[in-house]
A and B are shown apart, each in its own frame.
Chain A
Amino acid sequence: MRDILRILVAPLVWLASFSAVYGLHGLICGHGIGGSAFGLVSVPRLLMGGAYGLAVLLQVGLILALHAARFSSPSPFVRFVSRATAWVGLIAAVWTLLPTLVTTYCL
């Protein structure tokens, strides 16, 4: 079962991060959260950007873990597939959450 988890974990974490960021976006817009942080950036942008960064970092951590001898599978096949799905998770996190940095949030 650990091998199945190795294969599924990165996309699963992406799905959780994606849902969480979308939920955070809903909370920001639904509750009218606004204001400025440090006079440089708006609070919503900071929150969304922070969540984006965290999601990407998680994926990077998973890739590193799945390449480490301690966490990778003894089976070469599972090692390959789990690392491939880890890259799917990272690319998905970088691409699908990119709008947190570049679009308007509540319009």
Chain B
Amino acid sequence: MNMLQRHRRLTEIWSSEPGARGLFSTVNHTDLGRMFLAVSFFFFLVGGVLAMLIRAQLATPHSAFAGPEIYNQIFTMHGTIMMFLFAIPTFEGLAMYLLPKMLGTRDLAFPRLSAYGFWCYVFGGTMLLVSMVLGIAPDGGWFMYPPLTGPIYSPGINTDFWLIGITFVEISAIAAAVEITVSILKYRAPGMSLDKMPIFAWYALVTALMILTGFPPLILGSILLELERAFGLPFFQAEFGGDSLLWQHLFWLFGHPEVYIIFLPAAGVISTILPVMCRTTLLGYGWIVASATGLAFLSFGIWVHHMFTTGIPHMGLAFFSAASTLVAVPTGVQLFAWIGTMWKGRPSLRMPMLHLLGFFFTFVIGGLTGVMVAVVPFDWQAHDTAFITAHLHYVLFGGFVFPILAGLYYWMPHVSGRARFFRLGELAFALVFIGFHVTFLAMHWVGLLGQRRRISTYLPEDGWTTVNLISSIGSFVLAIGIAMVIVDLVLHAFTARRSRRDPWQAGTLEWAMMTPPPAYNFASLPHVDSRQPLADDPGLTLRLARGEGYLSEPERGWRESLTVEVATGKPDFHIIYPTNTRLPILMAAVTGVFFVSLLLKFYWTVPLAVVGVTILAWRWAWSLGRTTDLPPRSIGRGLTLPNATQVSRSPSWWGSALLLTANATFFGSLLFGFAFLWTVAPSWPPPAWLTSSAPELALGLIGAGLGVVAIRRAARANRKGQDARPWLGLTFVAALGVGAAAGGVVLRAPTPGDHAYGATLLVLGSYALFHAVLAALMAAFLTARVVRGFTSPSRQAEFPVVTLWVDYLAGASTLILVVAHLPGLLA
């Protein structure tokens, strides 16, 4: 097969359907990455227009531009859109587009999951946009504090749009995080050990792990607040044993790591682009990896610094103040590594570099004001003023938007295959930079003069008029700059001349292909021996196109790739991907029916949507695997690999393990909430404890233990070629037993509407019940797979996946049953 024949054959196998149909059925990471980025930038523009409305309102005192009700919606939606619908999805889109190319593989780990996440994002984001168009958008601020957002003070549907819409969108973030983590750990080019991974992959890995552990507390908080609003379960009402501070804890457990979830991918972009712009290599690769990891963990220990004015004891304040100041150290290490990179290289002031310099100047100021507000006495003075708004914009615009604009200019030739022709970008950068600093330096100033954040108007005698006018003028200059960036990029995409391959002389693998990239990325997969494979081996691109790498001969029309051992990069399994399908968009739509039903209180359609999602998920999983054993596949260069369905640690196992990590964080947050209310909230102890039931407790505990044993015996029977069905049946029965015990907690929880104790038991019981049903469904599914011949002594990959879920059920339900029954027993 020559180069052209290989290209045609691979294109036929990997490309999406032609025309608009392809948009709905594509599972290709390049398509989905581009779609994610296009939609996220659309939301960026919407958020930007809302920012202009805010500045128009505040430009003069006594402004009649918008009334307080509409103004509240405007600033809430501005923050919500920028945080949830622009920043995070931009990371997801960028990672989806770039990672397989940088890692030297053909696609992400779970292509259909990428598509499902994308459509959940589109549908969830659309829900929020619709609310805005209808004038019923969320209006409680982007962090939605109760009691303001509780049923008493916000009785309308506005808050529900936020709680339900954001939870829907977060499915997308969790899906992407699982996808990205498994892809980085397992889907790399042979030879790419951890020390040879591109630095962007390290940052993306750290960020994805942070999403998995950072988002669940917010999902929990949103569910609890929605339960309070819809069904009167008083989690946040002090007179019924709840506490509004619980929301703040759950929100900021997510919200502070969120800042780093936004910053770290941008830092990955900087670490990738800066050495290329400076014609050198990155200084302190290992230090940067350690700093990013340290920063990620530290960011989870500083959430209370958003709550310094809530009356927390001094020692608590001091813990979080100390942790907040410590964050400056790993951030500083990265900044100095970048400065050192510039020092040792020969910086060239090309377009991406301008935005990187914009980043340095802006982010350092944001970081310094961050250290200021980490100091408690200063924070008490500045809390909830425009100073804080200005600080967060310096951090987020400086730490995310500037690097992303640098990334756009850097990778645009990759996406479009064209070189920049017009020079609008330089002028646009100047306007963005000047406009930004005029706007937000003035905002620092007016904040220190005492202007509260989120006020809809002010009086002339407050003395803020001139500063606000300057800030508003600056914001419009900034908006003109952003508009020029867009014009520049559109002109580039449609009119610029063809670019040569690797126009920046970069060393990473995404440039070792033709541009725009083909659907299959690499005609054959590279073997990686260094961190800069393309710089160290300039002939690599041509050799890969000639088929001198791995998997160069397409077999049976399969979309093929391979996985590697996590640490060493040694090839371990052969992968066959699913092809184009509309299943993800269909499942996202049915998931949307579930959320819209909750929003509109059409509760009769909720079970229909749940059944719909279950059927589609069943079909999704059913279409994987094979009914015959596959012989080991020869992948070239003298290597053969077993298929991933024939190993115990398949990609699905990794995906499940990571999903359960997020799930465990959710559960841990729920237990934290229970302990917090018990310890801190007024009106405790509750009027009555759950009456303990020994038979119920025994049923649950025996069921949990039995499930753990039975699923292992089933796996063992399968390995030995024996009948696994009896053991799977026992697993099913065990899960039902756990479900019955959990159902007992749900049904007997004492008056959930009257006290947070009963309400929390109801949620804990429901959580166990849900997982019991899930485990039972999985056992039934696996039984059906055994019956239909999808398993054999070698095709064993599905057993460990179900084992993970059954084990999780056992652990979580045991804890829940003990927590639920123990107080009653002791009483």
A contacts, CB < 8 Å to B: 1-4, 7-8, 11-12, 14-15, 18-19, 21-23, 25-27, 29-31, 48, 73, 75-78, 80-81, 84-85, 88-89, 91-92, 95-100, 102-107
Contact = CB atoms under 8 A, between A and B. Distances in A.
Given A80-B286, A99-B319, A100-B315, A4 B566 contact: yes
Contact of A29 (B301, B313, B329): B313
Nearest to A17: B301
B21 interface: no
18 contacts: A14-B301, A15-B300, A18-B319, A26-B676, A26-B679, A75-B193, A75-B567, A77-B193, A77-B194, A77-B195, A77-B286, A78-B195, A81-B286, A92-B326, A95-B323, A96-B319, A99-B318, A106-B315
Q: Chain A: interface secondary structure?
A: helix
Given A15-B301, A107-B314, A88 B319 contact: no
Contact of A104 (B298, B315, B319, B322): B315
B319 A78 contact: no
Given A21-B319, A81-B293, 18 more contacts: A3-B566, A11-B293, A15-B300, A18-B319, A19-B301, A25-B315, A25-B316, A26-B316, A27-B679, A77-B286, A88-B293, A88-B297, A92-B323, A92-B326, A98-B322, A99-B318, A99-B322, A106-B315
A73 B257 CA distance: 29
A9 B779 CA distance: 34
Contacts of B193: 75, 77
Contact of B185 (A4, A22, A23, A81): A4
B722 to A, nearest CB: 30
B337 to A, nearest CB: 13
B755 to A, nearest CB: 18
B330 interface: yes
Contacts of A92: 294, 297-298, 301, 323, 326
B13 interface: no
A103 B322 contact: no
Given A26-B679, A91-B326, A84 B290 contact: yes
4 nearest A-B pairs in the assembled complex, by CB-CB distance: A77-B195, A99-B318, A11-B297, A84-B290
Interface in B266-298: 286-287, 289-290, 293-294, 296-298
Nearest to B323: A96
B675 interface: yes
A98 B321 CA distance: 11
Given A12-B297, A77-B195, A3 B318 contact: no
A85 B319 contact: no
A107 to B, nearest CB: 6
Interface string B651-671: 000000000000000000000
A105 to B, nearest CB: 5
A1 B293 CA distance: 16
Q: Chain B: interface secondary structure?
A: helix
Nearest to B197: A77
Interface of B: 185, 193-195, 286-287, 289-290, 293-294, 296-298, 300-301, 313-316, 318-319, 322-323, 326, 329-330, 566-568, 675-676, 679-680
Given A26-B676, A75-B567, A77-B286, A105 B330 contact: no
Contacts of B676: 26
A85 B294 contact: yes
B286 A84 contact: yes
A81 B316 CA distance: 31
Contacts of B329: 91
Nearest to A44: B315
Contacts of A19: 301
Contacts of B568: 75
B567 A78 contact: yes
Contacts of A80: 286, 290
B680 A105 contact: no
A18 B301 contact: yes
Contacts of B293: 7-8, 11, 81, 85, 88
A92 B789 CA distance: 54
Contact of B322 (A15, A23, A96): A96
Nearest to B209: A8
Contacts of A25: 313, 315-316, 319
Contacts of A8: 293, 297
Given A80-B286, A99-B322, A107-B313, A26 B680 contact: yes
Nearest to B325: A95
B315 A99 contact: yes
B651 to A, nearest CB: 14
A44 B375 CA distance: 25
A59 B8 CA distance: 56
